């Protein structure tokens, strides 16, 4: 049974981050009311509450401090339970009963994804049982058991579909069965890519939708309209003085090559590896050339001279790297004292994946961005200038408004923290479409 449009929908925002769910819900249903948010990260709460102010009593910091009366003790009377909760409040400063949460129709949650990252054993992926966050989803199940919201919308990494727990059970099945056990009869999940929802970012995430009494739910249809490009979301007049050191334009990566490697051919089976050396030498400076991988007519990659000026080179991380081929028995030793090192080679967006690590790539603004993460933000070739995207541009990649990270034209948090928050966020556009499909 869907809520009629004349009734204001209420929602609880758990693991709220900087408000991706909130923004998406409000874009879908402008009169929707958020009855509470749960977020343990103080800086994320600052950004969230600047955009979506809530009364203090509706802001919950630690989901593990939301407890249920019947779980405290089935045998203790209410006075004893209140005394226990009182002790918890002294210790945690915010323990509350789940039963006392405001009523709501929809629970939104992007529970922590880190425990579900790849931990491969044989040909299977397992959760990281040592991560304390691995069972935080169970607190969401408990909230749903007690409050019984009609609808649930969860988000996590796509890996959740295939990762297993220590009992060799698929985590997606464990979560779905837990929801069925507490009365949710219709549950669907699907992996969606943000790039299909009007933002130039590849961001594949799994979305779980559950409802207690509705008969069916259909995920939004993906149309084949032309995807927008990174170029379409770039700011104008971006000044390097506004960036930290890591934002300054770079003309190369942190790798170097020996002169003996120039024009040496490598086929696909001979991947190149770098052995990073903290005290490596920069060479005698006699070679002013810069080299780049070029594919020849035989589809082999050769290190060739370019017309780049060595003076444009930025030495990344203040150390050099030396080439190591799998066919060699040991990496080049910087202690020989006689190394004659060429300038670093140039990596561009068309450098093949078996030569360049993802972190070393420079991406074209004529395509879409790789997934924003909490670290390792990519470089883009913007009309010949290599730079990272600004926080405002990353907001656009996630569907947030330009002013989401600002308070009176001043950043609420520092650039690095802002990029981390955006890497943790859910894409607003996807949430908007899902909520419209639900209601």
d(CA 18, CA 156): 16
Q: What are phi and psi of 435, to 5 degrees?
A: -65, -40
Give the mean model confidence (pLDDT) for residues 390-398. Answer: 96
Tens digit of each residue's pLDDT (9 = 90 or more) over 3-60: 444 458 999 999 999 999 999 999 999 999 999 999 999 999 999 999 999 999 999 9
pTM score: 0.76
Kindly write down the DSSP assignment for every residue of 282-351, as one continuous string.
---S-----EEEEE-TTS-EEEEE-S--GGG---GGG-EEEEE-TTSSSPPPGGGS---EEPPEE--TTS
**Mean pLDDT of all residues belonging to the chain:** 77
Query: For residue 436, what are the CA distances in angstroms to 26, 84, 177?
Result: 10, 42, 26
Contact predicate 382/277, CB 8 Å: no
Say what the pLDDT of residue 323 is.
44
Say what the pLDDT of residue 226 is.
73
Between 377 and 244, residue with greater pLDDT: 377
Tokens linked to 105 = 């129709």
Say what the pLDDT of residue 242 is.
45
Give the mean model confidence (pLDDT) for residues 256-271. Answer: 58
Tens digit of each residue's pLDDT (9 = 90 or more) over 345-391: 555 666 666 665 565 567 888 889 989 998 877 878 787 677 889 99
| For the chain, percent of residues with pLDDT exceeding 90 | 47
DSSP single-letter state for residue 220: P
Say what the pLDDT of residue 108 is.
98
Say what the pLDDT of residue 237 is.
83
Active site residue 342: no
- For 140, the 3-state DSSP assignment is helix
Say what the pLDDT of residue 357 is.
59
Say what the pLDDT of residue 404 is.
98
CATH class of the domain at 10-225+414-438: alpha beta
Tokens linked to 178 = 């837990």
Catalytic residue among 34, 113, 252, 394: 113
Domain boundaries defined on the chain: 10-225+414-438, 235-364
Pairing relation of β-strands 257-258 and 341-342?
A: antiparallel
Identify the weakest region by mean pLDDT among 7-21, 88-102, 227-241, 308-322. 308-322
Q: Count H helices, E strands: the chain? A: 9, 24
């Amino acid at each position: 049974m869907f809520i009629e449009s004349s009734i204001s929908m209420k929602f609880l925002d758990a693991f709220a981050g900087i408000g991706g769910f909130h923004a998406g819900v409000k874009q879908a249903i402008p009169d929707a009311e958020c009855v509470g948010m749960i977020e343990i990260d103080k800086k994320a709460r600052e950004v969230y509450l600047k955009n979506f102010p809530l009364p203090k009593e509706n802001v919950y910091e630690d989901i593990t401090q939301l407890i249920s009366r019947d779980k405290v003790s089935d045998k203790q009377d209410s006075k004893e339970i209140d005394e226990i909760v009182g002790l918890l409040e002294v210790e945690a400063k915010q323990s509350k009963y789940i039963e006392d949460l405001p009523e709501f129709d929809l629970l939104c949650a992007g529970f922590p994804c880190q425990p579900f990252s790849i931990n491969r054993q044989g040909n299977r992926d397992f959760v990281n049982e040592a991560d304390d966050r691995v069972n935080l989803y169970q607190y969401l199940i408990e909230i749903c058991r007690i409050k019984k919201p009609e609808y649930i919308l969860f988000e996590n990494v796509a890996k959740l579909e295939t990762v297993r727990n220590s009992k060799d059970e698929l985590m997606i099945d464990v979560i779905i069965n837990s929801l069925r056990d507490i009365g949710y009869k219709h549950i669907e999940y699907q992996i969606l890519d943000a790039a299909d929802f009007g933002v130039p970012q590849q961001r594949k995430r799994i979305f779980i939708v559950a409802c207690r009494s509705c008969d069916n739910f259909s995920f939004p249809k993906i149309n084949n309209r032309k995807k927008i490009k990174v170029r379409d979301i770039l700011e104008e007049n971006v000044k390097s003085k506004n960036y930290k050191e890591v934002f300054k334009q770079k003309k190369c990566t942190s790798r170097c090559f020996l002169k003996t490697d120039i024009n040496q051919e490598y086929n696909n089976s001979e991947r190149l590896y770098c052995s990073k050396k903290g005290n490596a030498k920069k060479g005698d400076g006699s070679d002013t050339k810069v080299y780049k991988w070029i594919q020849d007519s035989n589809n082999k990659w050769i290190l060739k001279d370019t017309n780049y000026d060595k003076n444009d080179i930025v030495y990344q991380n203040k150390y050099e790297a030396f080439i190591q081929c799998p066919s060699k028995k040991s990496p080049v030793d910087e202690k020989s004292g006689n190394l004659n090192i060429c300038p670093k080679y140039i990596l561009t967006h068309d450098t093949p994946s078996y030569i360049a690590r993802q972190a070393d790539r420079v991406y074209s603004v004529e395509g879409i961005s790789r997934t924003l993460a909490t670290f390792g933000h990519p470089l883009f070739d913007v009309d010949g200038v290599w730079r990272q995207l600004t926080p405002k541009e990353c907001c656009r990649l996630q569907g947030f408004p330009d002013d989401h990270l600002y308070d009176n034209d001043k950043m609420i948090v520092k650039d690095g923290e802002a990029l981390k928050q955006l890497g943790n966020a859910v894409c607003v556009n996807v949430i908007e479409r899902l909520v419209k499909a639900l209601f």
